[in-house]
Amino acid sequence: MLEELKQRVYEANMELPKHGLVTFTWGNVSEIDRETGLFAIKPSGVPYEELKPEDMVLMDLEGNKIEGKYNPSSDTATHIELYKAFEEIGGIVHTHSSYATSWAQAGRDIPCYGTTHADYIYGEVPCLRCLTEQEIKDAYEKNTGLLIVSEFQKMKKDVLAVPAVLCKNHGPFSWGKDGMEAVHNAVVLEECAKMAFRTELIQPKVKPAPQALQDKHYYRKHGANAYYGQTK
């Protein structure tokens, strides 16, 4: 069932170790099929070198396992809340990539210090509050998703313009129109986190890039008047 979706999700998951975003089994990718309302996600705790396309677990948006011999990722409930809230999200990635996670552990947004960041992410990458003790005890993964949803809605952030978030004391989530785009954004996030860290080491009093420069670089790649790349 949905074998092509499982194949895509398998391939997207295999990109994580290739790009150095995961250690051991610390990460997962999912992608949703909006027609059926089902999504495929990496199984929990299975080493990447042992994964096969048929190991991907099919889930519905109520949290029911539809197909698969393994349990789904422990972060499945977070993915579900994002898919339910944002129709434009088609794929989600969670990692503990070291630089992005360091910013999350510090409880800091990642400022936009330059055009590399601005090309892909509009403004800073927000770091959200830590979950309360009760939120952690009650339904940790679901409440992680609900917090991301509520904060993005409160901040009026476009999830495709800001395709990543840091969960305080935890790590990053990123997303995109499908699983591969979500992985792409996870790689970009880690590189931006790394560059921002080094930038502050070199110049502790650094300020974010001028807004006009941020706007120029973001909108030349995104939106109705984008002109970066080749016309199709």
What is d(CA 55, CA 171) in angstroms, rounded to the nearest whole number? 25
What is d(CA 60, CA 34) in angstroms, rounded to the nearest whole number? 11
- For β-strands 91-95 and 171-176, DSSP reports them as antiparallel
Contacts of 181 (CB under 8 A, 6+ apart): 90, 91
Q: CA-CA distances (angstroms) from residue 158 to 76, 149, 161, 201, 215?
A: 22, 11, 5, 30, 15
Strand ordering across the sheet containing 27-33 = 65-67, 57-60, 38-41, 27-33, 91-95, 171-176, 164-167, 127-128
Among 90, 15, 29, which residue's Cα sits nearest to residue 57? 29
99 is catalytic: no
Q: What is the DSSP letter of 72?
A: B
120 is catalytic: no
Residue 39 sits at φ, ψ, to 5 deg, of -130, 155
User: Which residue among 60, 138, 158, 228 is the active-site one?
Assistant: 228
What is d(CA 208, CA 220) in angstroms, rounded to the nearest whole number? 19
User: Which residue among 33, 109, 119, 219 is the active-site one?
Assistant: 119
Cα three-residue angle 164-186-119, rounded to 5 degrees: 70
Active site residues: 119, 228
